[in-house]
A and B are shown apart, each in its own frame.
Chain A
């Protein structure tokens, strides 16, 4: 078609887009559907083509003030209104407000016979009057292919399709047509031949009895778009698509610290706890206290007045509340205050994408400060490791960008390496707390250690993790020649140590007494000797004096003798 080629001369403004208002779709299509052009939504039966198209019209009318026209070939307006009422769309109300025009085009092949040449001017007249009635900017055909069953002359139909698409384009109507997927082709009747601006393919597949809906933009002429398959969900608020690749590693990092809810654990993390906005992985074997640790965190967060979202794949809200009550953590008041949103559903309920999409939606609804997912390992059911890994990575990125502190609980099944998460996300998380059981002397005791914690000097100690009636305690374990001792062994060891200490003390006291006694004895001896010494000295002095006296006497005697002789 030369006219079409002429319109796309280079140097023109970039393609204008019409936002759909469908969460996620505008992100992956980078703005919406091509404005004033026709988009084909194709897919198998029951994949959500009509829903997507109608949501485009309804949101256009509600949010962008762009009225729409729905030309329905398969269902009556009443049926359509009923069908989409479950998504929260009130089509009849929109029609009454002249924001939406519904035209049911009935094609009854058995009523119609052909005689000679004809065209589909009637359809054009209806379309024109409908567009005029509401001032439509958006049009949807659901599904144009019904005409193939009503009219037997394919030559006329093809010519009329071409004319229709040109007609729509000339009027600048942003159009969506739905088409059933054909074998080997995008649409059964090759409508993509006429419309080649934008093709959206929907898919609804079942794997292991779990359904998964995917959306892919097969073609979007003249613009960049996300090319992946994106999971989408149809629920009571319409369609939502998880825009997975739009996230990048550009989140900011907060240096604010928040308590883990366990003072002893905070002590191990520089005495301050986790970083806000970080992701914390708690792994452990069954019954090692993971949920309790997560609940303590939630309790502490609610105490600070923060909103928390607790996503549980194992226990109901009541069950968790009851169990946590038994260890002195009362979650009920937080639920009542609206600070804690506890959502529980079975992991087998959906495929991995649906879980994450649902988590995504919940987070957007609740706007929490803290999120707990308990346990992520349950998401594994029905999905391969690689898928889980990539989906969790996307969830982590999403949470980080939003600045939400997240605790992921991961169950380590018996027999596997402890320091290995089943889904291998440990490298994605900032803090990794490992809980394990130590089996010794006929009892199992819980141990906790911080395997890693980015950006802080965390403790390297293994602590005994004790669940008391007033929350959690972390006690230093006994490390001795017999290995690490916990539980009653630790208690025994401690009492043994105490006994030994007492004994040592007594011994020392005894020795001190001995020494004192000895000292006294020696002192006595010293006194005795001194006395002896004094006596000896005294005696010595006496002797000396006696000697002197005797010498004097002797000399006197001699003098006397000499005198007596000298006189002779």
Chain B
């Protein structure tokens, strides 16, 4: 399950990896929440990769993943990790250090969607 999305170019690139384990409600919620956060008008380019550890268990070891779901910002350094279903949007935004566009507020609702993508 790999999804790659690119929005705008020529701006600072943010690389995000979301680690999930199968299609659990929590994993699906995390994907949805992440998409919503990113769908807000952010300045940076971002690149999201969703990794299903059930399909590739060795990556859990290689990337030191314990909690599921885990969102890893591998770029820019330093690496930071956010664990959970990302329902606390504020923490995600602060944690990933994504600055929002001027004048605009994040439009993503907390506790958005659980279930279908």
Judging by beta carbons under 8 Å apart, are A129 and B58 in contact? yes
With A115-B92, A116-B87, A129-B57 as contacts: A122 and B65 at CB distance below 8 Å = yes
CB neighbours (8 Å) of A130 from chain B are: 61
User: Is B84 a contact partner of A121 (Cβ separation < 8 A)?
Assistant: no
Contact with B along A90-109 (1 / 0, CB 8 A): 00000000000001011100
**B68 and A122 contact, CB distance less than 8 A:** yes
Chain A residue nearest to B64 in the complex (CB)? A106
Q: Counting CB contacts under 8 A, is B1 at the interface?
A: no
The answer to whether the Cβ of A12 comes within 8 Å of any Cβ in the partner chain is no
* Cβ–Cβ contact A122 & B70, under 8 A: yes
A13 close to B (CB within 8 Å): no
Q: Is the CB of B68 within 8 A of A121?
A: yes
The answer to whether A126 touches B82, judged by C-beta atoms less than 8 angstroms apart, is no
The answer to whether B61 touches A103 (Cβ under 8 A) is: yes
| A31 CB within 8 Å of chain B | no
Cα distance A107–B83 in the bound complex, in angstroms: 13
Distance between Cα atoms of A128 and B88 in the complex (Å): 30
Q: Is the CB of B67 within 8 A of A117?
A: no
Contact A114-B57, Cβ < 8 Å, known A122-B19, A122-B67, A151-B67: no
- Contact residues, B78-110 vs A (CB, 8 A): 78-89, 91-92, 95
Contacts of A151 in B (CB 8 A): 67, 83
In the complex, whether B17 has a CB less than 8 A from a CB of chain A is no
Given contacts A117-B26, A118-B85, A126-B60, contact A111 B67 (CB under 8 A): no
Could you tell me if A122 and B21 are in contact, using CB atoms closer than 8 angstroms?
yes
A295 to B71, CA, bound (A): 74
A206 within 8 A of B: no
How many residue pairs link A and B with beta carbons under 8 A? The number is: 95
> Bound complex: CA of A122 vs CA of B70, how far in Å?
9
The secondary-structure label for the interface of chain A is: mixed
- Beyond A119-B26, A122-B21, A126-B61, is A111–B81 a contact (Cβ under 8 Å)? yes
Q: Which of A113, A125, A147 contacts B60, CB < 8 Å?
A: A125
B54 at the interface (CB under 8 A from A): yes
A118 and B84 form a contact (CB under 8 A): yes
In the complex, whether B116 has a CB less than 8 A from a CB of chain A is no
Q: Flag if A112 contacts B88 (CB, 8 Å).
A: no
Cβ-defined contact, B88 with A116, below 8 A: yes
Please measure, in the bound complex, the distance between the C-alpha atom of A175 and the C-alpha atom of B115, giving whole angstroms: 37
Partner of A117, one of B70, B82, B84: B84
Contact of A113 among B19, B65, B80, B85 (CB under 8 A): B80
Looking at the assembled complex, report how far the CB atom of A151 sits from the nearest CB atom of chain B, in whole angstroms.
7
CB atoms of A107 and B26 under 8 A apart: no
Query: CB distance B26 to A115 under 8 Å?
Result: no
Q: Which residues from A are CB-within-8-Å of B81? A: 111-113
Q: Which of A116, A120, A125 contacts B57 (CB 8 A)?
A: A125
Residue of B nearest to A117 (CB): B85
B53 proximal to A (CB < 8 A): yes
Please give, as numbers and ranges, the residues of chain A lying within 8 Å of B87 by CB-CB distance. Answer: 115-117
Q: Which of A103, A114, A129, A150 contacts B82 (CB 8 A)?
A: A114
Query: Does A114 contact B91, Cβ atoms closer than 8 Å?
Result: yes
A489 and B102 CA atoms in complex are apart in Å by 117
- A114 to B78 Cα, complex, angstroms: 17
Residues of B within 8 A of A114 (CB): 82-84, 88, 91
CA distance A103 to B82 in the complex (A): 22
Measured CA separation A404–B78 after assembly (Å): 67
Once bound together, how far apart are the Cα atoms of A152 and B67, in whole Å? 12
Contact B84 A116 (CB under 8 A): yes
Verify A121–B21 contact, CB threshold 8 A: yes
Interface centre among A112, A113, A128, by most chain B C-beta atoms within 10 angstroms, is A113
Q: Is A123 at the interface (CB under 8 A from chain B)?
A: yes
1/0 per position for B32-63, CB-CB distance to A under 8 A? 01000000000000000000011001101100
In chain B, positions 8-24 with a C-beta closer than 8 Å to chain A are 19, 21
B33 partner residues in chain A, CB cutoff 8 A: 116
Report yes or no: B68 in contact with A120, Cβ–Cβ below 8 A.
yes
Whether the pair B85, A116 counts as a contact (CB closer than 8 A) is: yes
Q: Which residues of B contact A117 (CB under 8 A)?
A: 26, 84-85, 87
- B80 near A122 with CB under 8 A, answer no
B68 and A118 form a contact (CB under 8 A): yes
Contacts of B88 in A (CB 8 A): 114-116
Instruction: Decide if B57 touches A128 in the complex (CB within 8 Å).
Output: yes
What residue in chain B is nearest A106 (Cβ atoms)? B64
Q: How far, in whole Å, are A118 and B30 apart by their CA atoms in the complex? A: 10
Q: Which residues of B contact A118 (CB under 8 A)?
A: 26, 67-70, 83-85
| Chain A residues positioned under 8 Å from B89 (CB to CB) | 115
In angstroms, Cα B85 to Cα A123, docked, is 17
In the complex, are the beta carbons of B53 and A125 less than 8 A apart? yes
Q: A111-B80, A118-B67, A118-B68 are in contact. List 9 more A-B contacts (CB 8 A).
A: A106-B64, A111-B78, A114-B83, A116-B29, A117-B84, A121-B21, A122-B66, A125-B54, A126-B61
- In order of increasing CB-CB distance, the 8 nearest A-B pairs are A116-B84, A116-B87, A121-B68, A129-B57, A116-B85, A115-B88, A122-B65, A115-B91
A-B contact pairs, 20 of them (CB 8 A): A105-B64, A111-B78, A112-B81, A112-B83, A113-B82, A113-B95, A114-B84, A114-B91, A115-B87, A115-B89, A116-B86, A116-B87, A118-B68, A119-B26, A121-B53, A122-B60, A122-B70, A126-B65, A147-B66, A150-B66
